[in-house]
Amino acid sequence: MEWPKAAFSYGVAKVKGKWLYGNSAAMVQLPDPRPVFTLVSQMDISTQAIALVRLDVKKDHREAEYCEASVWTGAKIEDKNVVPLTVTRIPNTNNLTITPQADLPAGEYLLIPDQGKGYDGYDFGVK
């Protein structure tokens, strides 16, 4: 976080929260630009809780910005890198099928099974 910047500007400067992931690329690299995922779960997970986020690639890590805050404007959740998905429940199970609504451009991504718990999920790349 960028708290010193906000403190020295008396709250005028905006603070950005970021989730950081090590390495500039995920170990899993997929050749298909529209992968289909199956989330197998013991618990009932809402189809609305699933998210796919495109990660910004830096020299030695990847990151996703999750919020921006300032004393004057409050907190704003960022969603500029969220990819539209189609999520369907497999009948008579808690399992979900997850598909991007369009082909994914080459890059790094994070599939988040429960947005309410933060950006913790499964990272992968598309070649």
What digits encode the pLDDT tens for the residues 10-38? 544 566 778 889 999 999 999 999 999 99
Query: Could you give the 3-state DSSP secondary structure of residue 89?
Result: strand
C-alpha 118, offset from chain centre: 9
Judged against a pLDDT cut of 80, whether residue 121 lies above it is answered with yes
**To the nearest whole number, what is the mean pLDDT of the chain?**
84
Per-residue pLDDT, averaged over 69-87, amounts to 73
Measured distance CA(62)–CA(18) in Å, rounded:
10
